[in-house]
Amino acid sequence: MSDFICLSCPNGCHLQADLQPDGTVRVQGNKCDKGLAFAHAVIKKNTGAAAKVVAAQVKPVYDDIALTQICTFWGVAFKKTRPTLMPAGSPERTLFRVVIEDDQQKFFVLERIRPAAFHAKMKIIKTLEFLSRRGLSRIAPYWMGKEEQYIQEYKDGLWQLVPFLPGEELDRQTYLYDGWRAKVLSSFLIDLRAKSDGIALYSLDERFSIKKYVYTLSAQIKARHPELMSEVGRVISFLEAGFMPAHDSLPVAFCHGDYHPMNVIWGTDDIKAVIDWEFAGMKPEMYDLANMVGCLGIEHPSSLTGDLVIGLTRQLKGARLFEEVSWDFFLEFVIALRFAWLSEWLRKHDHEMVTMELDYMALLVDNKDELKRLWGINNGSLTKEAV
């Protein structure tokens, strides 16, 4: 039996696929035909062979009567679901989600969460509440319901509600080079630093260490994928030349934790909201920028020398958002964070992406001097070109 999340529509169904004696694969958990097509594609990718996929007869989990009752917890008069609208963010972080319309033609995302995720979700909710009260714009706080509770219980499920924000779809061929996005992305990080000052929900003792993460993953790779250690070892040796010894003393600040273009709801010329705060916390202050640059570069390495990436680094360098020591090791931090993505590809047995990730890290190492020059961070100082 295989378990996975369907990514074809907003529901984010948890699918179970079972091989039957006649050679067909029976899929349970899908709420529409897209789930069958998604299961077929996953099975073909994982096995290299196509199989006939059939659906088990499963009654829909939540009908309009149930959704109407759930929405009353927030004083929302449910009118209908809007299944053609896709909420931003990963459906893997909820058990069920759907866009609903109320009787005032307002739209919301209604989500059912795992009971085990209650405390983590409340931390996110309280984080957004704090930032909103401090005046941070371009976020989407959750709605408070009855008895001043954000998360409501209905029968055996826990639910939360957030306004639905439609966004402009990114052109995956061109957005990597859109210089105007650098200004709004930089502006958000500057605002986040100012407005998060004094946040008491996170402890320095809980701060994330990419150094420990890299060494732990390296040991696992050595044991399970020794054929990769030559490439992995070269990257670690590069990091050990300066970054690893300095890591524990790098300046720390509150960070979003997963800041990249897919976690942004875009307007035509600005950010509507930054979403998916599951990895927020105290981290090295350059974490969000390093993650953003790394994600842009993996889409296409040429973007590392494009207007968006160069604009991001130079604008934030000019804004003096980070201390000089952070800039000294910025490129190294971009590389170190890619180990988190490498771990994800290994977990999913995606050999193509594992190879791409290792090639990408090697490219960053091999072109470190030129990239630092273009980004305006040579030797930790702002170049004349960046002024």
Confidence band, pLDDT 50/70/90 cuts, at residue 242 = very high
Together in a domain, 212 and 355:
yes
Together in a domain, 241 and 343:
yes
Together in a domain, 242 and 267:
yes
Q: Give the C-alpha separation, 236 to 214, whole Å.
A: 8
Q: Give the C-alpha separation, 220 to 230, whole Å.
A: 14
Name the 3-class secondary structure at 110.
strand
Together in a domain, 81 and 136:
yes
Bigger pLDDT: 19 or 204?
A: 204
| Domain end marker among 36, 55, 74 | 55
The pair of three-digit structure tokens given for residue 242, joined into one six-digit string: 């300066």
Average pLDDT, stretch 301-312? Answer: 97
Do the Cβ atoms of 127 and 201 come closer than 8 Å? yes
Report the range of poorest mean pLDDT among 86-90, 311-315, 343-347: 86-90
Angle of helix 368-375 relative to helix 351-366, nearest 10 degrees? 70
Together in a domain, 294 and 261:
yes
Average pLDDT, stretch 326-335? Answer: 97
- Asked if the structure places residue 157 within a domain, the reply is yes
Please state the domain count of the chain. Answer: 3
Together in a domain, 181 and 295:
yes
- Asked if the structure places residue 170 within a domain, the reply is no
| Domain end marker among 163, 187, 207 | 163
- Asked if the structure places residue 306 within a domain, the reply is yes
Q: What angle do CA 333, 338, 340 make, to 5 degrees?
A: 110
Together in a domain, 47 and 90:
no
Together in a domain, 257 and 378:
yes
Name, in order, each residue with C-beta under 8 angstroms of 58's C-beta and a sequence gap of 6 or more. 28, 29, 30, 31
The CATH number given to whatever domain includes residue 88 is: 3.30.200.20
Q: How buried is 171 (Cβ within 10 angstroms: 0-12 exposed, 13-18 middle, 19+ buried)?
A: exposed
* Per-chain mean pLDDT for the chain: 89
Q: What is the pLDDT of residue 354?
A: 97
Together in a domain, 216 and 145:
no
Together in a domain, 328 and 302:
yes
Q: Which domain holds residue 290?
A: 175-386
Average pLDDT, stretch 232-243? Answer: 97
- Count of C-beta atoms within a 10 Å radius of residue 52: 11
Instruction: Write down the H helix ranges in 241-367.
Output: 243-247, 287-299, 307-318, 324-328, 330-347, 351-366
- Asked if the structure places residue 169 within a domain, the reply is no
Report percent pLDDT > 70 for the chain: 90
Cα-based distances in Å from 68 to 146, 147, 162: 15, 19, 16
Q: What is the pTM of this model?
A: 0.82
Report percent pLDDT > 90 for the chain: 73
Q: How buried is 104 (Cβ within 10 angstroms: 0-12 exposed, 13-18 middle, 19+ buried)?
A: exposed
Q: Give the C-alpha separation, 372 to 361, whole Å.
A: 15
Q: Tell me the sheet residues that pair with 97.
A: 111
- Asked if the structure places residue 168 within a domain, the reply is no
Q: Give the C-alpha separation, 99 to 110, whole Å.
A: 6
Together in a domain, 218 and 339:
yes
